Chain A
Amino acid sequence: MDDQGCPRCKTTKYRNPSLKLMVNVCGHTLCENCVEMLFVRGAGNCVQCNTPLRKNNFRVQLFEDPTVDKEVEIRKKVMKIYNKRECDFQSLREYNDYLEQVEDIVYNLTNNVDVENTKLRMEQYQRENKDVIQRNKAKLTREQEELEELLLLEQQSNEQRRLEVLQEEQRQLQAKRKSKQALLDELEQSKLPATLLLAQHKVRAAQLETEIEQQKQNVKPTSLFSTGIQMNHTVSLQPLPRIEEALYLYKPLHVETYGPPVPELEQLGRYGYLNHVRGSLPQDTAGGYTSALACYRAIQDAFSGLFPPKF
């Protein structure tokens, strides 16, 4: 963001990274301070293109490129008029044509191409399709309301759950305190020996604990396994139907080398090939190299493609 400066006071943007850039309908940017200064009377001309502007038309820039912001604004306005949806069209082709129309309009308005014609077209469309526009607007507001209601419900249920948990905890704490108090009272008043009372109290406390544990585990039992099978439904124990297909027969890979057969790597020593190859030093064998590898490669290369191919 720092590479873009305010075109008027240039320096201020770099020095003050928290400064915001504002964009107007002509697509040119100004920092907040400059907007204040230039539009102190509420209206003025743009610095770069001299179009008459109002101060309240300035919006905080969201994108790095001011033309993008300009296009976003224009699009919002156009979409308020051109608000048909896919279900309003008979075929996908028509819907796509409609969308292309909308894009053309947005493009023209953003790049100042043929502005009057485009505005005329927009007005004409608005006049022709007034009722459709109204209907769609109504639908949109209804959808938004439904969404909001759903959100509200979800929030409320969350709140309730939280409250319930809190209450449960409170109750448990109180129960514990009561039993402790009861113990103290009994110790004071009862005629039974203290050890017996303590033992009773311990038993009662243990019972309370188990009760609490049980309640915690008293989750609502589910009715569905994760695979979608209902609980307590008996699954058929019939064997699955047999599917027979052709068996796979392994055929070892055969590579045509167009030459005499090469002895295997392991046999090279036995045949005496290794006597004619430079032996490997201990440093080489440490890495896994053996002289047989070099020998094998040389023999392979010597025999590969030796015979002329059978035309």
Chain B
Amino acid sequence: MYHNSSQRKYWIFKNEAELDQKRCSANEAFRNKVIESGKAGVNESMFLKRNEEDVLFRHYERRLLDFCCAFKPPMPKSVVGTALTYFRRFYLNNSVMEYHPRIIMLTCAYLSCKVDEFNVSSTQFVGNLLQETPAGQERVLEQILEYELLLIQQLNFHLVVHNPYRPLEGLLIDLKTRYPALENPESLRKSADDFLTQAVMTDAGLLCSPSQIALTAILNSASRAGLSMESYLNECLGLKEDKDSLSKMFELMRRTKTLLKKYELPKPEEVNIYKQKLERIHAEFSSSSNKRKRGYEEDDHVAKEARLEEEVRSFFSTGFIKADAY
């Protein structure tokens, strides 16, 4: 359950400032790494700034959402939610410049299908990439498999994600049972659903628990429809005496709504400019930070040899010839 899950222990943060700081430090870490590796031709303007990274992140997030919605067979909402959560958590601690979002986004979707027990074979999965030829799909699949272990590692192996969809159902059931003042809670369902879909594209999942998000969704759609639900919170949820908690909850809900309002769709021209910058960065620096994760080979002996060759090759390519080379 959520209350003793890894999500509550490790992936819920106090405020947006903390999240911002994490992303900044990821950005900085990448910059320092590139500068320290001593590659020629590096200058500050080549790196992406925080806001540019954000725009790209939102663009690829939207693409992930579209991919999941166009998926055949149709993906359940929880799988979509899990994939987007993985995407968001991954880029909390890593920079967009280090790992290209286009592969990570597919890896997130693939992993969340596995974790949420939505059984799709790998060929079926890449078959959904309609713009590629079958050979291209194979290549994408290989890339996905390479990055899968890295993704799991960066998620710190916390793979279970609690989404707000089931709490929403639970709250609706509770409303219908204990709150006869509200005549038709079903009418709230549609706009609450839309609220949740929008909320998954924001940082709300990293700041509030899923049941709080669901409650916010319901209260929002109730106020939109002009219905008052004050007494629900007081009576049914037993918060009449606990003014402190009540005010904290309202505060939280207000912050969530602000987050949703702040969300803006990324503009195509900006996205294109930043994408080009990203491609350049990846072309230049990805060979030295070539962390080709070999998670799946059996033959250790072969892998060790190949890795040694790669290291030697990369040494020569960056012009570092050791004096005592053998």
Which of A's residues lie within 8 Å of B, judged by CB?
255-261, 271-273, 275-277, 295, 297-308, 310
Q: Please name all residues of chain A whose beta carbon is closer than 8 Å to the beta carbon of B169 when the two chains form the complex.
A: 298, 302
Q: Please name the residue on chain A nearest to B176 by beta carbon.
A: A276
14 extra interchain contacts, Cβ-Cβ under 8 A, other than A276-B177, A302-B171? A258-B3, A259-B3, A260-B236, A261-B238, A271-B177, A271-B178, A272-B177, A273-B177, A299-B170, A299-B174, A304-B1, A305-B211, A306-B209, A306-B215
Q: Identify the 5 closest CB pairs spanning chains A and B, nearest first.
A: A302-B170, A305-B209, A298-B170, A304-B2, A302-B167
**A302 contacts B212, C-beta separation under 8 Å:** no
Which of A256, A271, A273, A297 meets B166, CB within 8 Å? A297
27 residue pairs of the A-B complex, CB under 8 angstroms, read A255-B4, A258-B209, A260-B237, A271-B178, A273-B173, A275-B176, A276-B172, A298-B167, A298-B169, A299-B174, A300-B170, A301-B2, A301-B167, A301-B170, A302-B168, A302-B171, A304-B1, A304-B167, A304-B209, A305-B3, A305-B8, A305-B209, A305-B212, A306-B249, A307-B239, A308-B248, A308-B249
Q: Please name all residues of chain A whose beta carbon is closer than 8 Å to the beta carbon of B237 when the two chains form the complex.
A: 260, 306
Q: Please name the residue on chain B nearest to A272 by beta carbon.
A: B177
Q: Please name all residues of chain B whose beta carbon is closer than 8 Å to the beta carbon of A257 when the two chains form the complex.
A: 1, 3
Q: Please name all residues of chain A whose beta carbon is closer than 8 Å to the beta carbon of B166 when the two chains form the complex.
A: 297-298, 301-302
Also in contact, A302 and B211, with CB within 8 A (given A260-B238, A277-B173): yes
**A305 contacts B210, C-beta separation under 8 Å:** yes
Distance, CA A257 to CA B2, complexed state (A): 8
Q: Please name the residue on chain A nearest to B167 by beta carbon.
A: A302
Distance, CA A261 to CA B176, complexed state (A): 17
Q: Please name all residues of chain A whose beta carbon is closer than 8 Å to the beta carbon of B214 when the two chains form the complex.
A: 302
Distance, CA A297 to CA B174, complexed state (A): 12
Task: Decide if B287 is an interface residue (CB 8 Å cutoff).
Answer: no
Task: Decide if B88 is an interface residue (CB 8 Å cutoff).
Answer: no
Which of B's residues lie within 8 Å of A, judged by CB?
1-4, 8, 162, 166-174, 176-178, 209-212, 214-215, 236-239, 245, 248-249, 252
B250 → A minimal CB distance (Å): 10
Distance, CA A257 to CA B162, complexed state (A): 14
B61 → A minimal CB distance (Å): 24
**B173 contacts A276, C-beta separation under 8 Å:** yes
**A308 contacts B252, C-beta separation under 8 Å:** yes
Which of B3, B178, B239, B245 meets A304, CB within 8 Å? B3
B102 → A minimal CB distance (Å): 33
Q: Please name all residues of chain A whose beta carbon is closer than 8 Å to the beta carbon of B239 when the two chains form the complex.
A: 307
Which of A256, A303, A307 meets B249, CB within 8 Å? A307
Main secondary structure of the interface of B (DSSP, over half): helix
**A301 contacts B162, C-beta separation under 8 Å:** yes
Distance, CA A261 to CA B174, complexed state (A): 12
Q: Please name all residues of chain B whose beta carbon is closer than 8 Å to the beta carbon of A305 when the two chains form the complex.
A: 2-3, 8, 209-212
Q: Please name all residues of chain B whose beta carbon is closer than 8 Å to the beta carbon of A298 when the two chains form the complex.
A: 166-167, 169-170, 173
Distance, CA A259 to CA B172, complexed state (A): 16
Distance, CA A164 to CA B197, complexed state (A): 93
Also in contact, A303 and B170, with CB within 8 A (given A259-B3, A271-B177, A276-B176): yes
**B3 contacts A256, C-beta separation under 8 Å:** yes
Also in contact, A255 and B252, with CB within 8 A (given A275-B177, A305-B209): no
Distance, CA A185 to CA B212, complexed state (A): 111
Which of A297, A300, A303, A308 meets B245, CB within 8 Å? A308
Distance, CA A273 to CA B214, complexed state (A): 19
Distance, CA A115 to CA B57, complexed state (A): 65
Q: Please name the residue on chain A nearest to B186 by beta carbon.
A: A276
A55 → B minimal CB distance (Å): 37
B257 → A minimal CB distance (Å): 16
Q: Please name all residues of chain A whose beta carbon is closer than 8 Å to the beta carbon of B212 when the two chains form the complex.
A: 305-306, 308
Distance, CA A278 to CA B272, complexed state (A): 48
Distance, CA A277 to CA B245, complexed state (A): 30
Distance, CA A304 to CA B237, complexed state (A): 12
Distance, CA A257 to CA B172, complexed state (A): 20
Distance, CA A302 to CA B162, complexed state (A): 11
Q: Please name the residue on chain A nearest to B4 by beta carbon.
A: A255
Distance, CA A259 to CA B245, complexed state (A): 11
Distance, CA A310 to CA B162, complexed state (A): 21
**A303 contacts B177, C-beta separation under 8 Å:** no
Q: Please name all residues of chain B whose beta carbon is closer than 8 Å to the beta carbon of A308 when the two chains form the complex.
A: 212, 245, 248-249, 252
Q: Please name the residue on chain A nearest to B171 by beta carbon.
A: A302
A96 → B minimal CB distance (Å): 30
A311 → B minimal CB distance (Å): 8
B63 → A minimal CB distance (Å): 29
Distance, CA A273 to CA B212, complexed state (A): 21
Q: Please name the residue on chain B nearest to A297 by beta carbon.
A: B166
Q: Please name all residues of chain B whose beta carbon is closer than 8 Å to the beta carbon of A275 when the two chains form the complex.
A: 176-177
Also in contact, A300 and B177, with CB within 8 A (given A306-B212, A308-B245): no
Distance, CA A307 to CA B172, complexed state (A): 18
Q: Please name all residues of chain B whose beta carbon is closer than 8 Å to the beta carbon of A306 when the two chains form the complex.
A: 209, 211-212, 215, 237, 249
Q: Please name all residues of chain A whose beta carbon is closer than 8 Å to the beta carbon of B211 when the two chains form the complex.
A: 259, 301-306
Distance, CA A258 to CA B174, complexed state (A): 17
Q: Please name all residues of chain B whose beta carbon is closer than 8 Å to the beta carbon of A297 when the two chains form the complex.
A: 166
Distance, CA A275 to CA B174, complexed state (A): 11
A105 → B minimal CB distance (Å): 28
Distance, CA A297 to CA B245, complexed state (A): 24
A121 → B minimal CB distance (Å): 29
Most buried by A among B3, B4, B162, B248: B3
A307 → B minimal CB distance (Å): 5
Most buried by A among B176, B177, B245: B177
Distance, CA A305 to CA B3, complexed state (A): 6
Distance, CA A308 to CA B237, complexed state (A): 13
